[in-house]
Amino acid sequence: MTNPEAQQTRNVFVGIDIQNDFIDGSLAVNEGAEVVAPANTLSAEVRDDGGTVVWSRDWHPKETPHFDAWPVHCVQETRGAAFSADLDVRETDIVLSKGMGQTDGYSAMEGVGPAGQTLESIISPESDERVRAIMLGLATDYCVRSTVLDSCVTFGDNPDVDIIIVRDGIRAVNIEPDDEQRAMQAMEEAGAIAMTSEEIRRAFF
Ligand SMILES: [Zn+2]
């Protein structure tokens, strides 16, 4: 056992798919724009604290079997695939692209950065380090859920990693009215911790 007193805590902020098509475009999520403010606030806290800020994006080719299930969305280099203009994405942040092949790419754990970074490599703690991964974005019942569940599978046995979902930083598609509630339940049962952005600021920054 490592002495927790000797451990440094590193924060990783993960903003999931806060892109135009999910806010006001072809696959707009009800109240999707509401996640922008908590995303900007928490990413700034993490950046100012020396942590890592990561933004995932759906980055689809023009044709993919993914569009058999969904309206065409987030096609590479289009306005719909761009991050919300109100989102505070900085040069030093890491952007992970996903769904670039013929895959759905729901999970940001499938994403790849410009230098080959993956979410797993970014979150993985060094020795004597704890990592707190703070996750929010769109949509609760698809990409947020997949990212959080994959992270819980990858890091579930690691006592030095906490996966935190920001309650007020997510919104759901809700094809079935209880999809959001079922997604929250699945994420919490997998070991993720749900907190509001205000609770996170008070507790960690
Ligand atoms: Zn997609």
Q: What separation in Å is there between the alpha carbon of 69 and the centre of ligand 1?
A: 9
Task: Name which of 99, 95, 111 is nearest 62 in CA terms.
Answer: 99
- Binned at pLDDT 50, 70 and 90, residue 7 comes out as confident
Residues 171 and 129: their CA atoms lie apart, in Å, by 31
pLDDT digits (tens, 9 = 90+) for 148-205: 999 999 998 899 999 999 999 999 999 999 999 999 999 999 999 999 999 999 999 9
Domains and their CATH numbers in the chain: 9-204 (3.40.50.850)
Q: What separation in Å is there between the alpha carbon of 32 and the centre of ligand 1?
A: 15
The secondary structure of 9-74, three-state, reads EEEEEEEECCEHHHHCCCCCCCCHHHHHHHHHHHHHHHHHCCCEEEEEEECECCCCCHHHHCCCCC
Q: Are strands 129-138 and 161-171 parallel, antiparallel or unpaired?
A: parallel
pTM of the model: 0.95
Q: What separation in Å is there between the alpha carbon of 99 and the centre of ligand 1?
A: 7
Q: What separation in Å is there between the alpha carbon of 66 and the centre of ligand 1?
A: 7
Active-site amino acid positions? 17, 98, 143
pLDDT digits (tens, 9 = 90+) for 97-131: 999 999 999 999 999 999 999 999 999 999 889 99
Q: What separation in Å is there between the alpha carbon of 163 and the centre of ligand 1?
A: 23
Q: What separation in Å is there between the alpha carbon of 115 and the centre of ligand 1?
A: 22
